[in-house]
Amino acid sequence: MAVIPQQKIDDAMRGVGRLHIALNRLPGLGPLIARGFSRAMAVFPMLGGMRPTDSITATREQLAAAGQDMGFPFEFSEPDGDEFILELPYCPYGFVDASQEKACDTAMDMDRFMLKLCGAELTVQETILQGAPKCRMRVRQRRGVAPER
C-alpha cells in the first residue's frame, strides 16, 4: 500500500477546514451541507479498515492506528469503564480562532459519525478555539446499541 506524504495529508485536512468555513458562511443551507459532507467523509475510514467494535479498548486501538496512519499526535487516557479521553494539541483542520467555532463543529461531525458507525460516541469537551491548550474529546462505547452500518 502506498504511503501518502504527511504534507499532503495536512494540506487535505486544512482544505476540508477551509471548505467548512466557506459552507458555514452560506446563509440557510450552508451548515446543513457542511454536516452532510462530514457524514459522507465519515464513511471513508470504514473503507480503510475501521470496523464496528464492541469494547472501548478496541475502539481506542482503532483510533490510535488511524491517528498514526494520518500522522495525528493523538493523546489517549487509559480507558475508564466504557470511555476514554482523546486529546489533540492542534487542530488538523487549521482552525485558529473563535470565529471558526461553527466550522469546527460541522467538521467534527465527521468524527462523531465515524465513531457512531464504530459503536461509540464522541463528545467534544473543549477546544483550542475556546481557549483550551488542547482539543479534548470524550469517547464512550455505546452499550446495548448495535453499531450503525
Q: Is residue 101 part of a domain?
A: yes
Helix (H, G, I), strand (E, B) or coil at 122: strand
Q: How many domains does the chain have?
A: 1
* Angle ∠(89,93,99) on CA atoms, nearest 5: 95
How is residue 134 annotated by DSSP? S
Phi, psi of 72, rounded to the nearest 5 degrees: -90, 130
pLDDT at residue 140 tops 60: yes
- Residue 52 belongs to domain with CATH number: 3.30.1380.20
Q: Grid coordinates standing for 126?
A: 473543549
Q: Is residue 10 part of a domain?
A: yes
Q: Grid coordinates standing for 80?
A: 475508564
Report pLDDT digits (tens) over 15-54.
999 999 999 999 999 999 999 999 999 988 888 788 999 8
Rg of the chain, C-alpha, whole Å: 15
Q: Is residue 146 part of a domain?
A: no
Distance CA(73)–CA(33), nearest Å, equals: 29
Q: Is residue 147 part of a domain?
A: no
The more confidently predicted of residues 2 and 135 is 135
Q: Is residue 41 part of a domain?
A: yes
Overall average pLDDT of the 51-63 stretch: 93
Q: Is residue 1 part of a domain?
A: no
Q: Is residue 149 part of a domain?
A: no
Q: 119 lies in which domain range?
A: 6-141
CB count in 10 Å sphere of residue 113: 19
The more confidently predicted of residues 81 and 1 is 81
The model's pTM: 0.89
Q: Is residue 49 part of a domain?
A: yes
